[in-house]
Amino acid sequence: MSHFKAPPKKNLGQHFLTDRRYIDMIVLAVDPQPGDRLVEIGPGQGAITFPLLRRHGELTVIEFDRDLITPLMEASEGVGRLTVIHKDVLQVDFSKLAADDGQHHGRQIRLVGNLPYNISSPILFHALEHAAAVRDMHFMLQKEVVDRMAAGPGSKVFGRLSVMLQAYCTVTSLFDVPPGAFRPPPKVDSAVVRLVPLPSAEVGISDPALFERVVRDAFGQRRKTLRNALQQVCSGADIEAAGLRPDARAEQLEVAEFKHLANHLAALPPAA
């Protein structure tokens, strides 16, 4: 039995993937290898769960919907070793999950999931907080969100999400998934994205909280110049001293320039 029928719950933003071709493409993109520690977020009816389990033999899933847990466990019998964590994914400590791996101490986890569209950004930021424990992530999201995640400077959709994710990960949009591949069909196109956390030495951000604030304020009002958007954080002279133009707008800056600006500000002596 590959998966089971359960009515999707609107309040949980559930859209179950049913098209075999796209399921196979996701499994191929993940390409699990012996020894990998796979963790799936929101397995739903098991559309991706069971093909991964058949291919890999073991899988940990995080499922918030209590009604799906018993059917998932029953359907996994004879397929492979399935571990279910019944929790809100935002409450799951990925670092602890990686460290708790009894067989291999501190083995990095690989995250997979068809993320609920209503909470995809918080899940992405939660995963970033544990980037050192995560080897890579393959997520299906609303195509519009994936476009924003992978966008470069100058693009209309390049914004806070693009900079925050690309500062810590290599982001690659892999392929689009049409509404007809789901039950019920969502009103939007979906896409699969791969995120590979950068080694911490490569991230090069000296004060993550300050970096986050600079990025948030810079994009807070898109039409504003950096000088105006960042006036709560720094002066035009500070921006200039970092080698950037105070009259530039946030969407014109490279990710590396945001890092450079935040690091420059972090190194300034505190104002008297």
Of 83-97, 107-121, 148-162, the range with the lowest mean pLDDT is 107-121
Residue-level pLDDT at 7: 53
Question: Is pLDDT at 95 greater than 50 in this prediction?
Answer: yes
Is 42 annotated as belonging to a binding site?
yes
User: What mean pLDDT do residues 224-253 have?
Assistant: 97
* Cα-Cα end-to-end distance for the chain: 68
Residue-level pLDDT at 11: 47
Neighbours of 104 (CB within 10 A): 10
Which token pair is 168? 């810590």
Which token pair is 261? 């600006």
Q: In terms of residues, how long is the chain?
A: 272
Question: Is pLDDT at 99 greater than 80 in this prediction?
Answer: yes
Question: Is pLDDT at 257 greater than 80 in this prediction?
Answer: yes
Is 226 annotated as belonging to a binding site?
no
Per-residue confidence band for 45, with pLDDT thresholds at 50, 70 and 90: confident
By C-alpha distance, which of 30, 36, 8, 45 is closest to 140?
A: 30
Question: Is pLDDT at 101 greater than 70 in this prediction?
Answer: no
Residue-level pLDDT at 4: 53
Q: What is the pLDDT of residues 169-222, one digit of tens each?
A: 999 999 999 999 998 898 999 999 999 999 989 999 999 999 999 999 999 988
Q: What is the pLDDT of residues 7-42, one digit of tens each?
A: 544 544 557 899 999 999 999 999 999 999 999 999
Question: Is pLDDT at 79 greater than 80 in this prediction?
Answer: yes
Is 63 annotated as belonging to a binding site?
yes
Per-residue confidence band for 72, with pLDDT thresholds at 50, 70 and 90: very high
Which token pair is 125? 């930021």
Question: Is pLDDT at 102 greater than 50 in this prediction?
Answer: yes
Q: What is the pLDDT of residues 110-120, one digit of tens each?
A: 999 998 878 89
Phi-psi region of 44 (alpha: psi -120 to 50; beta: other; left: phi over 0): left
Residue where the block lists tokens 């949980």: 12
Helices (H), the chain: 20-30, 49-56, 66-76, 94-99, 120-129, 143-150, 160-168, 200-203, 208-220, 226-229, 236-241, 255-266
Question: Is pLDDT at 54 greater than 60 in this prediction?
Answer: yes
> What letters, b where the CB count within 10 A reaches 16 and e where it falls short, cover 32-44?
beeebbbbbbbbb
**Please, is 101 exposed, middle or buried when counting C-beta atoms within 10 Å of its C-beta (0-12, 13-18, 19+)?**
middle
The DSSP code for 124 is H
Is 253 annotated as belonging to a binding site?
no
Residue-level pLDDT at 16: 84
Which residues lie across from 140 on neighbouring strands?
114, 192
Give the residue, 100 or 240, on which the prediction is more confident. 240
Question: Is pLDDT at 272 greater than 80 in this prediction?
Answer: no
Is 159 annotated as belonging to a binding site?
no
Residue-level pLDDT at 183: 87
Reduced to 3 states, what is the DSSP secondary structure of residue 196? Answer: strand
Domains (range + CATH), the chain: 10-201 (3.40.50.150), 208-266 (1.10.8.100)
Question: At 232, phi and psi to the nearest 5?
Answer: -80, -15
Question: Is pLDDT at 1 greater than 50 in this prediction?
Answer: no
CA distance 6 to 9: 9
CA distance 132 to 241: 32
Note the Cα 32 to chain centre separation in Å: 19
Q: Letter for the amino acid at 22?
A: Y
Give me the chain's average pLDDT, please: 92
Residue-level pLDDT at 215: 98
Is 15 annotated as belonging to a binding site?
yes
CA distance 11 to 17: 17
Question: At 42, phi and psi to the nearest 5?
Answer: 65, 70
